[in-house]
């Protein structure tokens, strides 16, 4: 046998051994994934304390990191010894679990902010059920958020704060600011938050199409969506998950195919399963929120006018044009749910003298917590906040 033949035989043998090893690992991971799925979920692992609890609402406080450097994305980040004065309060959307702020140790916005010297708190709106059907915008923005901020300010011994909200969390932040006229709300950061509902992808087209029929119904009949029993309008979490996946059906299919092709790789399966937890275990929407979003946010497109009514009848409202806090709004370049135009409308509405709009790569989930987010969206937010948090 020649040296060349021997070398080729050795290579084939080595490849065969590798293929066998991967096949065995593929089978092992497949079985474990079915029997003990939780073994592949690494979300929500950053230590935290619950400093406030009332009904559905709770507030988390994340202690400072003890490490000298941490892995974020694919880069090691030094943990800053300098602490910013202004704490950051994270505001999640209702359907998504707060774990999306702390997805994986290396892709955790919470750890990223801690590493850059911010005090970090998170407002958790809990998981509503049928008993919470009545909850609407007025409850989340004029009761829950103020309660949470009161406790956070006491704990932080600091009146001035920053609100950072993703999607609906960004809307809640803006509505709270427009309602409260909170002079100590220093900064607001919104990520993928829709202001102009009529520009928000497929949903926006639907709102525009129904605008005329809705006006006719309002004018000639006594029918009002807010007169419906809100318990009849609750949207279960599984429906939210299905709608979210429907915005990118090919991505869902190809993602599963990629999983099958890489099932031998435990790290790949862990990342896939953790991300899937975000999309597969969404919380329900209370009927009251559905009423407000159908009528005020959607049909009336009230946020785009700068003023939105809160509660039933005349009373509380949020005037976004009166907001004076510094604002950074970030939109996803390929976001099909909250388009760039839907998010950018905030620049025409907010009264703040200091406001900036940025576009980052990614769709609705990717712009916030995708693989590119730690080097784009998160960096944009940190660099902007660092000069406004002293």
- Structure confidence at residue 379 (pLDDT): 97
pLDDT at 332 over 50: yes
- Least confident range from 183-197, 213-227, 251-265: namely 213-227
Q: What is the DSSP letter of 346?
A: H
Rounded to the nearest 5°, which phi and psi values hold at 261?
Answer: -75, -25
**pLDDT above 90 as % of the chain:** 60
Count CB atoms within 10 A of the CB of residue 219: 7
Q: Tell me the three state secondary structure of residue 79.
A: coil
Q: What's the pLDDT band for 214 if we cut at 50, 70, 90?
A: low
- Structure confidence at residue 216 (pLDDT): 63
- Least confident range from 5-14, 59-68, 76-85, 315-324: namely 5-14
Could you report the per-residue pLDDT of 233-271, keeping only the tens digit for each? Answer: 999 988 878 877 776 666 666 776 888 888 888 888 888
Q: Mean per-residue pLDDT for 40-67?
A: 94
- Give the domain ranges of the chain: 3-35, 39-386
Q: Mean per-residue pLDDT for 347-361?
A: 96
Of residues 262 and 178, more confidently modeled: 178
| CA–CA separation, 203 and 246 (whole Å) | 12
Angle between helices 237-246 and 249-261 (to 10 degrees): 90
Which of 92, 28, 86, 84 is closest to 57 using CA atoms? 92
* pTM for the predicted model, two decimal places: 0.87
| CA–CA separation, 389 and 187 (whole Å) | 8
Count CB atoms within 10 A of the CB of residue 163: 26
Could you report the per-residue pLDDT of 92-142, keeping only the tens digit for each? Answer: 999 888 889 999 999 999 999 999 999 999 999 999 999 999 999 999 999
- Structure confidence at residue 341 (pLDDT): 96
The domain defined by 39-386 folds into Rossmann fold (3.40.50)
- Structure confidence at residue 220 (pLDDT): 65
Check: CB of residue 135 under 8 Å from CB of residue 86.
Answer: no
Q: What's the pLDDT band for 9 if we cut at 50, 70, 90?
A: very low
Which of 371, 383, 378, 376 is closest to 104 using CA atoms? 371
Q: What's the pLDDT band for 18 if we cut at 50, 70, 90?
A: confident
């Amino acid at each position: 046998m020649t040296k060349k033949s021997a070398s080729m035989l050795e290579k084939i043998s080595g490849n065969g051994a590798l293929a066998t090893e991967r096949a065995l690992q593929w089978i092992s991971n497949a079985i474990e994934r079915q029997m003990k799925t939780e073994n592949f979920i690494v979300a929500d692992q950053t230590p935290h304390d619950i400093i406030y609890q009332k009904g559905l609402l709770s507030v988390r406080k994340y202690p400072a990191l003890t490490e000298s450097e941490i892995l974020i994305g694919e880069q090691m980040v030094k943990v800053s010894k300098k602490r910013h004065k202004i704490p950051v309060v994270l505001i999640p959307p209702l359907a998504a679990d707060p774990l999306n702020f702390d997805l994986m140790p290396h892709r955790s916005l919470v750890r990223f902010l801690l590493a850059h010297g911010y005090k970090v708190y998170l407002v958790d709106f809990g998981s509503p059920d049928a008993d919470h059907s009545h909850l609407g915008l007025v409850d989340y923005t004029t009761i829950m958020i103020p309660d949470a901020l009161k406790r956070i300010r006491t704990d932080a011994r600091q009146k001035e704060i920053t609100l950072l909200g993703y999607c609906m969390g960004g809307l809640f932040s803006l509505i709270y600011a427009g309602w409260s006229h909170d002079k100590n709300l220093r900064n607001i950061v919104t990520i993928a938050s829709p202001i102009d509902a009529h520009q928000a992808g497929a949903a926006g087209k639907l709102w525009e199409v129904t605008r005329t029929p809705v006006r006719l119904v309002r004018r000639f009949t006594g029918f009002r969506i807010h007169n419906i029993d809100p318990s009849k309008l609750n949207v279960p979490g599984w429906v939210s998950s299905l709608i979210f996946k429907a915005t990118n059906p090919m991505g869902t299919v190809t993602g599963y195919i990629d999983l099958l092709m890489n099932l031998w790789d435990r790290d790949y399966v862990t990342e896939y399963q953790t991300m899937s937890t975000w999309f597969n275990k969404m919380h329900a929407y209370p009927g009251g929120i559905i009423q407000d979003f159908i009528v005020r946010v959607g049909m009336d497109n009230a946020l785009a006018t700068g003023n939105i009514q809160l509660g039933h009848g005349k009373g509380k409202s949020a005037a976004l044009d009166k907001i004076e806090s510094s604002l950074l709004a970030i939109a996803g370049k390929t976001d099909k749910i909250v388009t760039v135009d839907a998010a950018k409308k905030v620049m025409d509405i907010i009264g703040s003298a200091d406001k900036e709009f940025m576009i980052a790569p990614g769709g609705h989930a990717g712009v916030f917590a995708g693989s590119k987010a730690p080097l784009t969206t998160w960096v944009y937010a940190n660099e902007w906040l660092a000069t406004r948090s002293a």
